[in-house]
Amino acid sequence: MSIAESQAAQPPRYFWRRVLAFLIDKFIIALGFMFLMIVIADIWPASVTYMPESFFRTTRCEDGASNPNSADMLAKLEVQPGEATFVRICKTDSFMMPTRNWGFVVAEKKLADNPIRKTTTRSIRFSVGKAGNFYLPDMVMSSVIDSAQQLLAIAAFAFLLAEWASPGKLVVHLRVVPVEGYDETNYDPPAFWLSLKREALKQLPILIAIVATGLIDIIAKIEGFQSDNIMEEVHFMSANAPLIYGTTLLFAAFIFYWLIQPIIWWSGATRYDRILGLRVVRAPIEMPLQATSSPT
């Protein structure tokens, strides 16, 4: 049997429907979190530092070398002999988000003997308070907020999946159903805990990345290191470049194995749906949705 014949015998992928559903759901997540952060900013003004920037934004920067606070940031950068430095202070206005004032200091050194890499650059990004004072954002707090955003999204979509379907799937008329007991007259969704497991497994690569970044931030904070570039933090932790880049390649391979390979070599369901005994089906527009207490 050919690969095409084998895949034809499996349930359809609904590839483009699922892509559209994914984009719709991602947009809703971003929009919902944006409004949540606006509310939080009224209660906790310092949270502006950790807010994401929307796609529609404008940034204006100017030279900040004359600012008396710049010397403190340059001192934290620990400028080395032969490095040229500059300071920029910026203001970012994002769509429907509070204005963010921030800046960065850069130390740049020309490499005369390196034919491939002409310069080496180090940088620190800082925030500017309402009074014009400079301060370094707490990297650990940033990781906590990123984690909270992802966990809230997982819980919210698990609830929607257990009650109806995610907004994106509703638009394209797709449903997630348990394989056991499914027929074309029964589109009952899985129970909440099963839906929660599905959303967590689907987001597994992102959760792993958040945990890894958080650990790097915690170690960097303990060691008193702060950088605008996550790769600088990684190199700060270890000078063993093959280990760093080898781990990165392993993580990329895991993403391919977990999310992309099952779609290319189709076996009737994504990897996480096969683990949980679920599948995605196309439901007629007029088919009502009935929440059930399917066993987990």
Each residue's pLDDT tens digit, 60-87: 999 998 898 898 988 888 888 888 999 9
pLDDT of residue 52: 67
Radius of gyration of the chain (CA): 24
Whether 124 and 232 have beta carbons less than 8 Å apart is answered as: no
Check pLDDT > 60 for residue 280.
Answer: yes
Task: Specify the 3-state DSSP secondary structure of 219.
Answer: helix
Distance CA 53, CA 16 (A): 28
Residue bearing the bigger pLDDT, 41 or 89: 89
- Give 18-47 pLDDT, tens digit per residue: 999 999 998 888 888 878 877 887 787 777
Average pLDDT of the segment spanning 252-269: 93
The type of residue at 55 is F
Per-residue pLDDT tens over the stretch 149-193 = 889 889 999 998 888 889 999 999 999 999 887 777 777 889 999
- How high is the pLDDT of residue 293? 44
Q: Which two tokens stand for residue 21?
A: 């559903």
Q: How far is 103 from 90, CA to CA, in rounded Å?
A: 5
Q: State the helix-helix crossing angle for 204-222 and 139-163, rounded to 10 degrees.
A: 160
